[in-house]
Amino acid sequence: MRYLRMFIVAIALVIPLIFLFFGQTYLKKHMAALQYIPPKSTIVEEKEVVQKVQPKKQVVVKKPMEQPVQVKEKEKKIIVIDPGHQRYRDQRLEPIGPDSHTWKPKMPASAYGVSTGQAEYALTLQVANRIKERLDASKYEVKLTRTEHVIAKSTKERAEFANKQNADLYIQLHADGAKDANGRGMYIIMAHENNRYTKKLMEANRKVSQVLLQEIKSAKLDTHKKGLLYADQMTALNWPNMPSVIVELGYLNDRQDDERLAKTAYQNRIAEALARGIEKAVEK
């Protein structure tokens, strides 16, 4: 029994040694196969690639040629005609000019013919329509501040109407009713050169006055004295922003003026003369 136990112990000691020996050999053999050996580096000589880059063409942005600012002219000249007065007067007050402390009635009463009894407001509208008919519609746009008798439009508001229309010329028609024994014939009223409201328009107003007066005389229409008067307290002249004059068609308190102003033929002569004058004044 003792020998049997010794044999078993020997076997128990030898077997682990055998396994240890053969295990190491096996591991060495197979680990060599499993071990990763990096491949030898292959050096490839890379040639330098030189890319010829064409220089970019400089793009020159051409600026548009600066053209002078051109103000588009109106297709037609705008003429505003004010047939003076209306059927009913308006005694309410309004300033005679911008920032003025002097005030006048918005619309004074109309004059009436001493012989015919014709109303100034009717006469002025008749003549205004005749002038409009004679002006070339293809060249001029004629606008009236009123087309009827019963309205409520003040002197200042009529001038402001012309301003809003951007008119080239503002002509106001009246017929004098002053009790002047020597009053007879047509005349023109313009603002004086020292008028603070119209100083910048003085030359233009003078040109219009002279051209109209020349046409009146050429038509052999009577003129009162020299035919040109100055006034600085006229609301009608102080508010417009464009050349403006008042044309007095004659004296309704004078029998001769009154009677001929009531005739169609005489009104036509006046309208033709004023239409020619307006054309020349605007085109010059």
Q: Does residue 72 have a pLDDT over 70?
A: no
Rounded to whole angstroms, what are the CA distances from 178 to 175, 250, 260? Answer: 9, 10, 18
State yes or no: pLDDT of 42 exceeds 60. Answer: no
Which residue is it, tokens 């002078």? 68
**Backbone angles phi and psi of 73, in degrees to 5:** -75, 150
Residue 36 pLDDT exceeds 50: no
CA 81 to chain CA centroid, Å, is: 22
| pLDDT value of position 182 | 78
Look at residue 126 and tell me whether its pLDDT is greater than 50: yes
- Residue 21 has what pLDDT? 60
Comparing 26 with 175, which gets the higher pLDDT? 175
Q: How far apart are CA 219 and CA 189, in angstroms?
A: 19
Buried b (16+ CB within 10 A) or exposed e, 53-62: eeeeeeeeee
Q: Residue 6's pLDDT band (boundaries 50, 70, 90)?
A: confident
User: pLDDT tens, 218-253?
Assistant: 999 999 989 999 999 999 999 999 999 999 999 999
pTM over 0.95: no
Tokens for 203, please give them: 């030359």
**C-alpha angle with apex 78: 206 to 133, nearest 5 degrees?**
100
Q: Angle at CA 17, nearest 5°, toward 12 and 23?
A: 130
